[in-house]
């Protein structure tokens, strides 16, 4: 139970009853304001801020409970009202609910019953408050305003994404690994009508092929060996919200057939079930392959056109270099806070080197680079120089083909190590961050001898 008082207005013309109710509620951590008439109740309701619930007697002189109920609901939209009377009938209870009451109890009532009702209402209000706060925080973290950019290319992307957010049409985001496809997908979700509903993401290349179908569509206990309990699947879990199918080009062709049917009918039948489940879900897909490669090689043509109703292409960082200074400042601030450092910026030489780099890993590569440098910088140092860059990147080396290959190998190894560190050794999450399949991750780890 929270220590914050939940403010209740109790209204009854019976002074003895009202005092007993006040004592009972205050013992259970409620703040209670009392009123002995409808007129007094309206005055106090207008004066008091943060009023959450009204406990209201039905039979009172001058202004009866029904009249007062309607006035209170008009005065404080959304206020919760519980009607109380010594003459309870089914008809009276129905009438109270019709006029806006949340519940109805009769005198004399069991004290535990009243407290349980109030506690349930209180917990529900607290949960709604937390959900509302979380929605605001998520919007602040993942909204379009949080995507760092000042380039004209990205302005066009934001305009298209913002328009997409206010429709239910499927969206296909195409862009190289590390360009921020999932961040854009979350921004679309949180900027539309489904913002308060689930956002379920899955990397189609990070889950073994034989498990992806059950992960997406669910299964019933006993449907196959190892199915020890029911699993609703991500499509059902995302109902009323959004499902994000990242790296959908890695999905097996045979599973694409089933996905196409789900998208055509918006119904899914989990493994082991005979009945279909109707869905209300928004689909956003993403891939690091080009549109032409997706159509010709990776996706069934009919599935591609079903998904690509709205296509958004995210440009690589090398095509929007004006964003590099903004991103550097953003990441320096973030990792200063994370590692309690006071780095102010880059030296002129270091900035020039970064600005002229082609960033094959895009924003994610820049982010990991800045974090790696700040994490190990001495506490007294506040400028990132070329020396720090050379310790973390090898693209500064001579440009002969042998040196270039060595640099790429070591850069790839560094990226693997950084991803594993970030995910605390969780290989599935690391593969997800890097935008590769788990099988590819294991192969790379073995290749570079990374533990």
User: SS in 3 state form for the chain?
Assistant: CCCCCEEEEEECCCHHHHHHHHHHHHHCCEEEEEECCHHHHHHHHHHCCCEEEEEEECCCCCCCHHHHHHHHHHHCCCCEEEEEECCCCHHHHHHHHHCCCCEEEECCCCHHHHHHHHHHHHHHHHHHHHHHHHHHHHHHHHCHHHCCCCCHHHHHHHHHHHHHHCCCCCEEEECCCCCCHHHHHHHHHHCCCCCCCCEEEEECCCCCHHHHHHHHHCECCCCCCCCCCCECHHHHHCCCCEEEEECHHHCCHHHHHHHHHHHHHCEECCECCCCCEECCCEEEEEECCCHHHHHHHHCCHHHHHHHCCEEEECCCHHHCHHHHHHHHHHHHHHHHHHHCCCCCEECHHHHHHHHHCCCCCHHHHHHHHHHHHHHHCCCCCCEECHHHHHHHCCCCCCCCHHHHHHHHHHHHHHHHHHHHHHCCCCHHHHHHHHCCCHHHHHHHHHHHCCC
- Final residue belonging to a domain, choices 115, 134, 153: 134
Are 350 and 432 part of one and the same domain?
yes
Read off φ and ψ for residue 405, nearest 5 degrees: -65, -40
Q: Does 140 map to a domain?
A: no
Q: Does 331 map to a domain?
A: yes
57-91 burial string, b = 16+ CB within 10 Å, else e?
bbebeebebbebbeebbeebeebbbbbbbeebeee
Are 337 and 292 part of one and the same domain?
no
Are 115 and 160 part of one and the same domain?
no
Q: Does 1 map to a domain?
A: no
131-167 burial string, b = 16+ CB within 10 Å, else e?
eeeeeeebbeebbbeebbbebeebeebbebbeebbee
Are 116 and 233 part of one and the same domain?
no
Q: In this structure, what token pair is assigned to residue 238?
A: 């995302």
Instruction: Give the pTM.
Output: 0.58
Query: What CATH number did the domain enclosing 229 receive?
Result: 3.40.50.300
**For residues 341 and 109, what is the distance between their CA atoms, to the nearest angstrom?**
61
Q: How far is CA 416 from the centre of its chain?
A: 26
Are 156 and 276 part of one and the same domain?
yes
pLDDT of amino acid 408: 52
How many domains is the chain partitioned into structurally?
A: 3
Strand partners, 34: 10
**Is the peptide bond between 268 and the residue preceding it cis, with omega within 30 degrees of 0?**
no
Domain range for 361: 318-448
Query: What CATH number did the domain enclosing 34 receive?
Result: 3.40.50.2300
Q: Please state the length of the chain.
A: 451
Contact indicator for 21, 30 with CB cutoff of 8 Å: no
Are 156 and 107 part of one and the same domain?
no
Q: How far is CA 51 from the centre of its chain?
A: 30
Are 306 and 349 part of one and the same domain?
no
Q: Does 217 map to a domain?
A: yes
pLDDT of amino acid 137: 44
Q: Does 37 map to a domain?
A: yes
Residue 451 has a CB neighbour count (10 Å cut-off) of 6
Are 439 and 387 part of one and the same domain?
yes
Contact indicator for 205, 432 with CB cutoff of 8 Å: no
Q: Does 139 map to a domain?
A: no
Query: What CATH number did the domain enclosing 413 receive?
Result: 1.10.8.60
Are 81 and 45 part of one and the same domain?
yes
Least Cα distance to 149 among 313, 320, 323 occurs for 323
| Pairing mode, strands 267-268 and 277-278 | antiparallel
**For residues 394 and 365, what is the distance between their CA atoms, to the nearest angstrom?**
13
Residue 183: CA atoms inside 13 Å, Cβ hemisphere, count? 21
Are 129 and 155 part of one and the same domain?
no
Q: Does 327 map to a domain?
A: yes
Instruction: Give pairs for 349-357: CB < 8 Å, separation 24+.
Output: 349/385, 349/386, 350/384, 350/385, 350/386, 350/388, 350/389, 351/325, 353/386, 353/389, 353/396, 354/324, 354/328, 354/389, 355/321, 355/324, 355/325, 357/393, 357/395
Q: In this structure, what token pair is assigned to residue 117?
A: 């009702």
Beta-carbon contacts of 140 under 8 Å, excluding residues fewer than 6 positions away, are 146
Q: In this structure, what token pair is assigned to residue 45?
A: 């309701």
pLDDT of amino acid 58: 84
- Final residue belonging to a domain, choices 280, 315, 350: 315
The tens digit of pLDDT for each residue in 154-200 reads 888 888 998 999 899 999 999 999 998 998 998 899 888 888 888 99
Q: Does 117 map to a domain?
A: yes
Strand partners, 33: 9
Are 86 and 181 part of one and the same domain?
no
- Final residue belonging to a domain, choices 134, 160, 182: 134
Low-confidence ranges of the chain (pLDDT < 50): 1-3, 132-142, 395-407
Are 311 and 322 part of one and the same domain?
no
């Amino acid at each position: 139970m929270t220590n914050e008082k939940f403010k209740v207005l109790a209204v009854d013309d019976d002074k003895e009853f009202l005092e007993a109710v006040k004592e009972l509620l205050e013992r259970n951590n409620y703040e209670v304001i009392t009123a002995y008439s409808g007129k007094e109740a309206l005055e106090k309701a207008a004066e008091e801020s943060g009023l959450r619930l009204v406990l209201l007697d039905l039979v009172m002189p001058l202004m009866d409970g029904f009249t007062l109920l309607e006035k209170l609901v008009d005065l404080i939209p959304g206020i919760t009202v519980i009607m109380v009377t010594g003459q309870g009938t089914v008809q009276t209870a129905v009438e109270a609910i019709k006029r806006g009451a949340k519940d109805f109890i009769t005198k004399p009532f069991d004290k535990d019953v009243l407290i349980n009702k109030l506690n349930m209402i209180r917990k529900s209000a607290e949960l709604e408050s937390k959900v509302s706060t979380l929605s605001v925080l998520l919007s602040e973290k993942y909204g379009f305003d949080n995507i760092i950019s000042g380039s004209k290319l990205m302005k066009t992307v934001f305009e298209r994404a913002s328009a997409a957010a206010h429709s239910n049409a499927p969206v296909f985001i195409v862009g190289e690994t590390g360009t921020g496809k999932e961040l854009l997908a979350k921004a679309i979700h949180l900027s539309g009508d489904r913002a308060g509903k689930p956002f379920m993401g899955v990397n189609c290349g990070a889950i073994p092929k034989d498990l992806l179908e059950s992960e997406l569509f669910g299964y019933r206990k006993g449907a196959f060996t190892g199915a020890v309990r029911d699993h609703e699947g991500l499509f059902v879990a995302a109902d009323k919200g959004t499902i994000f199918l990242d790296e959908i080009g890695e999905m097996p062709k045979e599973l694409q057939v089933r996905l196409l049917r789900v998208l055509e009918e918006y119904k899914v039948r989990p493994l082991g079930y005979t009945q279909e489940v109707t869905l209300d879900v928004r689909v956003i897909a993403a891939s690091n392959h080009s549109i032409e490669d997706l159509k010709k090689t990776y996706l069934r043509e009919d599935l591609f056109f079903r998904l690509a109703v709205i296509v958004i292409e995210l440009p690589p960082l090398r095509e929007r270099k004006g964003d590099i200074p903004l991103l550097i400042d953003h990441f320096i601030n973030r990792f200063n806070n994370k590692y309690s450092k006071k780095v102010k910026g880059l030296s002129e030489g270091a900035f020039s080197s970064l600005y002229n780099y082609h960033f094959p890993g895009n924003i994610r590569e820049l982010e990991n680079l800045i974090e790696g440098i700040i994490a190990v910088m001495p506490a007294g140092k506040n400028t990132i120089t070329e020396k720090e860059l050379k310790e973390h990147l090898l693209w500064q080396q001579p440009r002969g083909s042998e040196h270039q290959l060595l640099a790429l190998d070591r850069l790839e190894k560094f990226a693997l190590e950084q991803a594993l560190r970030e995910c605390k050794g969780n290989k599935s999450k690391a593969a997800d961050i890097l935008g590769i399949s788990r099988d590819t991750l294991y192969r790379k780890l073995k290749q570079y001898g990374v533990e």
